[in-house]
Structure 1
Amino acid sequence: MKRSFETLKSEHFFDEEFPLYVNRATETFQVPFHNHDFIEFAYVAEGSGFHHIDGEVSEAAKGQLVFIPIGASHVFRPASTNPDKMSLIVYNCLFSPHLLDKFSGFATDPALLVDLRLMRDGEVPSFTLQDSDDAIGKLFLQLHREHSLPRQATKDFQCSLLLQLLIVVLRARMGTATAANARKFDRFDQLLAYTDNHLSEALTLSHLAQVSQWSERHLQRLFRRHTDQPYHLYLQSARIRRSCELLRHTPLKISVIAEEVGYKDIASFLSAFKKHAGATPSAYRKAASANCNT
């Protein structure tokens, strides 16, 4: 049986002034195989399934980023025909190669400039990366939110997010750096990401020493050198920053938010929050809600 096939054109997604488009799609078996005259990054946000590209099939799982160059024939398929049993939700970031020329106009890193040129010229084949620390997922969430809810200077902001995505992808593709200092920075950056992703837990310095295989004394030096804070203040700031996000974007009770960011004692949370945010959590939430409605 001959399968259906489509070529997707830029004019169906981009306006004349801004060649960038972002959406969040639930994949089905009705979507035909297709290629396109633009570049695409696809990010698996939820569920699992399969990705068919240029005659090959690979598993698609949460946290995967797929690069699809111009002309590549591909399609995502969920693992089941029953969406209640298993869904596959993918963020798609589509952009014109002309955007890469703009980025090349002010980028300075030699490796980045080469990657932008090769990607623009169609010399980078399709590839898949695993988002190990959710850095890519957060960028896609921001891209989608900014594209769906445009505000002042939204096109510039979306371009800056896409450039960040290209840099994060470049770093991941380059793999482990050869220089000892670069390896150390990568390890410490991963430790910061681990901390940010486990704020609800008891993140003692002793625990981080086990995770990182660095001594507690060395970790203290690294935090002071690279965050300009001792560890306990960095952790407190990260927890309050996360609680602010939850207050702005969720209806969770303040006591629940306190537990979500690692405070078992509500009084300690209230004291730390007011010190860092300059207001109580309830006052902060009220002010944030008022700003959104103006």
Structure 2
Amino acid sequence: MRKPDMHVEKGEEFFENGFSIYVNKVYEHFDLPEHVHDFYEISYVWEGIGFHYIGDQTIRVSKGDLFFIPIGISHIFRPSSPHANKPLRIGNCIFDASLFHFLTSILPDHYHMYRFNDLVSHGGQWLQIREHSGEFEQVMSSLFVEFQQKRTGYETMMCGLLLQLLIVMERAIERKEAPTSPNQNRMDAVLRSIRSRLGDKITLASLAKEVGIGTRQLQRMITAHSGESFSELLAHERINHSCHLLADPFNRELSITDIAAAVGIHDPKRFYRVFKESTGVTPAAYRRQSYPSTDWTRA
């Protein structure tokens, strides 16, 4: 809840030209004050580990955590360490109350959507969800790119993506309430492990040891879950993350070779080949398509 003399962030400081959605991606620091805001906020942990001080609770967070923060809730993210080599990067999508209520009233009640709307209607309740297979990152990335590029129709596109994010959250809540099998829990752990250290050497044997099963059993589990072999899944995750890095303007100083190394592919020729096989374009072309107005001198 709001504390005395708490800093209040107002939507008018962010919204422009009557459009009430704003998206950013920031590194958290210790000098930012705890605050409340007069808008709704969805915060996604994009990178690193740290803590979220929200209301009267302190929650340890890591990549894949998402928070729905209603109006009037005090909160702040802090990295786990002041050292620059241990950053905490948060993506934020903020929007005003009128847009939220419009989006959450589009579908009829009998569609059984937006159960988290009940939390908002009672006031003062926030929500924490952890993604299952990168579903939050995918939509947040699309929102961020649309907001940065501002191409024709971006406002409508962003409203659609925000609605998509709300639906994905609804599904995650439903999944959270349903009982999970041991194999599902293991698969979630495998995906978290892979995504947290894509730049490292990752083997099927090391992952199997982490989750406490044999390598053959893990391979069968991966295939049942994704329809891919372990090597195919790993390549998919690496290329998927490289796409996010290439499309992110914060990474414009990184060369394509740097990005390839960051996702664990240290041979540039191999990276170009695998990337084009997966996406149909070269990494340089993908980067230019994401930000066509930018002069990519290091591409």
Asked whether the two chains share a fold, i.e. TM above 0.5, the reply is: yes
Question: Which string of whole-angstrom CA distances, capped at 9 and with x for unpartnered residues, describes residues 11-49 of structure 1?
Answer: 66557975433356778979696553x433345778978
Q: Is the Cα–Cα contact under 8 Å of residues 112 and 167 in structure 1 kept in the other structure?
A: yes
> How do 1:219-234 and structure 2 match up within 5 A?
219-234=218-233
Alignment partner for residue 265 of structure 2, among 263, 271, 275?
A: 263
Name the counterpart of 1:105: 106
Partner residue, 2:211: 212
Q: Aligned to 1:222, what secondary structure does the other structure show?
A: helix
Matched, 1:235 2:234: yes
Residue pairs, 1:1-294, within 5 angstroms:
4=5, 18-23=19-24, 34=36, 36=38, 38-42=39-43, 51=53, 53=55, 56=56, 58=58, 66-70=67-71, 72=72, 74=74, 76=76, 91-98=91-98, 99-106=100-107, 112-116=113-117, 118-123=118-123, 125-127=125-127, 140=140, 142-166=142-166, 169=169, 171=172, 175=176, 177-180=178-181, 184-185=183-184, 187-247=186-246, 250-266=252-268, 268-277=270-279, 281=282, 284-286=283-285, 288-289=287-288, 292-293=291-292
Tell me the CA shift for residue 209 of structure 1.
Answer: 1.6
- Judged with a 3 Å threshold, the aligned counterparts in structure 2 of structure 1 residues 93 and 27 are, in CA distance, closer, same or farther, namely farther
Is contact 1:51–1:57 with CA below 8 Å preserved after alignment? yes
CA contact (8 A) 1:27 1:89 kept: no
CA distance in structure 2 between the partners assigned to 1:127 and 1:277 by the alignment: 35
Cα displacement string for residues 181-206 of structure 1 (whole angstroms, at most 9, x for unaligned residues): xx644542442343233322222222
Amino acid at match of 2:187: F
Distance in 1 (alpha carbons) for counterparts of 2:31 and 2:107: 42
Gaps of 5+ in 2: 294-299
**CA 1:127–1:227: 2 relative to 1, 3 Å:** closer
The amino acid across from 1:102 in the alignment is L
Q: Quick check: 1:50–1:76 contact (8 Å CA) kept in 2?
A: yes
Change (3 A) 1:160 1:122: farther
Letter in 2 for 1:231: F
Amino acid at match of 1:259: A
What is the root-mean-square deviation in Å for CA atoms of aligned residues? 4.8
Q: How many residues align?
A: 280
CA distance in 1, matches of 2:205, 2:278: 25
Give the distance between the partners of 2:35 and 2:286, measured in 1 at CA.
Answer: 48
Corresponding residue SS for 2:22:
strand
| TM-score in terms of structure 1 length | 0.64
DSSP 3-state at the match of 2:179? coil
Give the Å deviation of 1:69: 2.7
Please report how far the alpha carbon of residue 8 of structure 1 lies from its aligned counterpart in structure 2 after TM superposition: 6.3
- After TM superposition, the structure 1 stretch with the greater mean CA deviation from structure 2, 124-133 or 212-221, is 124-133
Is the CA contact 1:29–1:77 (under 8 Å) kept in the aligned structure 2? no
Question: How far 1:178 sits from its partner (Å)?
Answer: 1.7
The CA deviation string for residues 147-190 of structure 1, in whole angstroms up to 9 with x for no partner, is 3432244234333443454456553697463253xx64454244
Preserved CA contact (<8 Å) 1:263 1:269: yes
Match of 2:297 in 1: none
TM-score (norm 2): 0.63
Larger radius of gyration between Structure 1 and Structure 2: 1
Compare 170-179 and 188-197 and name the one that shifted more. 170-179
Q: Secondary structure at the match of 1:151?
A: coil
Change (3 A) 1:144 1:220: same
Tell me if the contact between 2:226 and 2:233 (Cα under 8 Å) persists in the aligned partners.
Answer: yes
CA distance in 2, matches of 1:14, 1:44: 22
**Counterpart code for 2:203:** T
Displacement after TM superposition at 1:287 (Å): 6.5
Question: Counterpart of 1:177 in structure 2: which amino acid?
Answer: A
**Cα distance in 1, alignment partners of residues 108 and 208 from structure 2:** 36
Deviations 1:94-132 (Å, cap 9, x if unpaired)? 33444345345348997743222x144234613556789
- TM-aligned CA distance change 1:195 to 1:75, over 3 Å: closer
For the 8 Å contact 2:68–2:126, the answer to whether it is kept is yes
Give the Cα separation in 2 of the matches to 1:30 and 1:193.
29
